[in-house]
Amino acid sequence: MRTFAVLVMLLAGSGLAAQQPAQPPAGESPYRIAGRLPVRIMSFDISPKNIQPGEKVTLTWAVENPASTTIDPIGRVAPRGRQVLSPSVTTTYTLSVTGASNSADKRTVTVVVAGTMPGASPPDAVANRPKTVPRTADGHPDFSGVYGYGAGGGRGAAPAPAAPGALPATPTLKPGAEKYRVVRGPEDTGLYSTCMPPGIPQSFFVPYYLQIVQAPKHVVIAHEYLNQFRIIPTDGRAHPPDPDPSWNGNAVARWEGDTLVIDSIGYNDKTEINGYRHTESLHIVEKISKPDVNTLSYEATIEDPNVFTGPWLIKRTFPLLPEYDSLNEFVCENNRDYKPLFGNK
């Protein structure tokens, strides 16, 4: 009876019904609680388990709460997946997972290819991913792929300190341009609280993936956030005269060695860049390269002669996510209107 009374008091404190479960201890973020959940392998199968040379097998797996999921000899994979493979020799696949609270697990499956011995070397062309930056038919590095936001709070890896003589990582405002510094009041819910595009380069710095699709004369840079995209000609053409101001600007690109240089103008004045507004004179030069197969290097040089004393530079890197081949759909209007949660504010 006493226990019941305590329970009722606890539940009354939470404002929840008596039928509800015991409440978690106060004072700890639920994300920290969730962050301790251990990893587990739900399933790992191969079918069929015996094949003739040249036949295919299907590998399927499901993992929950992983920090990392890899299949040897494929490499990093999504937590849930399915791959059709053509192993040339008898092969054992090993699914290894790690998770929070030092949790880890491992499972193996083997496909026997008739008349072959177990293969020690990577046995499957489908499973082998490139180990160096691939190149397109015209010799340029191929940036195509899905990229994550990596560590650093959804903004890509933290920038390295500026080298001596390099452009500064933060701008200096011109005299009289203080009004372009963004200062948010308590009622200002911020740049990402509406369905309006964040523009360039902020579209790169949200906690959603981006995808590059490279074609012979264009590169497409697509962002999952708001499903924004730019189709950028890479043939070195000039900007059209007086492009209409737009959220993502008018972009043209050229190759400088293995670096794609994207020059853009024609922006509207509705976006912010790292806490600063700008005018329609905004000019951005982006440089994209791949120092290695798993890393996209991104630099954006920002200029606005009406606002800043000179150019400044934002640098980020983004990890290739070989386990994904396309972005998710994003429909901003799916999000709920949270205004009621704020009461009358």
Partner 1 sequence: MKRFLFVAAALALLAAPLSAHHSTAMYEMANPTTIKGTVKRFEWTNPHAFIYLDVKDDKGNSVEWEIELMSLNHLRSYGWVRTTVKAGEEITCTGGRAKSGAPSMISALLKLPDGRELRS
Q: Which of 93, 147, 180, 209 binds partner 1 (CB under 8 A)?
A: 209
Angle at 139 between CA 133 and CA 143, to 5 degrees: 40
Check binding of 194 to partner 1 (CB under 8 A): yes
Check binding of 21 to partner 1 (CB under 8 A): yes
Q: Which of 80, 82, 179, 237 binds partner 1 (CB under 8 A)?
A: 80
DSSP run (H or E) holding 42: strand 40-47
Nearer Cβ to partner 1 (123/150)? 150
Instruction: Give the C-alpha separation, 30 to 20, whole Å.
Output: 17
Q: Where are the alpha helices (DSSP H) in the chain?
A: 2-14, 30-34
- Would you give the DSSP letter of residue 21? P
Angle at 53 between CA 48 and CA 55, to 5 degrees: 45
Site for partner 1 in 284-323 (CB under 8 A): none
Instruction: Give the C-alpha separation, 302 to 343, whole Å.
Output: 39
Nearer Cβ to partner 1 (42/166)? 42
Which phi and psi angles does 179 have, rounded to 5°?
-65, -15
Nearer Cβ to partner 1 (22/117)? 22
**Site size for partner 1 (CB under 8 A):** 69
Q: Which of 47, 58, 193, 326 binds partner 1 (CB under 8 A)?
A: 193
Q: Which stretch binds partner 1 (CB under 8 A): 44-52, 77-85, 121-129, 167-175?
A: 77-85
Instruction: Give the C-alpha separation, 180 to 284, whole Å.
Output: 17
Q: For residue 305, list its beta bridge partners.
A: none
Q: Which of 7, 62, 169, 173 binds partner 1 (CB under 8 A)?
A: 62
The first and second tokens of residue 140, run together, are: 């340029």
Which phi and psi angles does 271 have, rounded to 5°?
-100, 170
Going by their DSSP bridges, the two strands 80-85 and 91-99 should be labelled as unpaired
CB of 272 to partner 1, least distance (A): 9
Q: Which of 33, 104, 125, 160 binds partner 1 (CB under 8 A)?
A: 33
Check binding of 77 to partner 1 (CB under 8 A): no
Q: Which stretch binds partner 1 (CB under 8 A): 75-83, 164-172, 215-223, 257-265?
A: 75-83
Instruction: Give the C-alpha separation, 78 to 112, whole Å.
Output: 25
Nearest to 178 by CA among 270, 268, 277: 277
Q: Which of 46, 51, 59, 66 binds partner 1 (CB under 8 A)?
A: 66
> Pattern 235-274, binding to partner 1, x per CB under 8 A?
----------------------------------------
Question: Which residues bind to partner 1, rule: CB under 8 A?
Answer: 14-24, 26-35, 37, 40, 42, 62-66, 78-80, 151-155, 158, 184, 188-195, 206-209, 224-225, 275, 328-332, 334-343
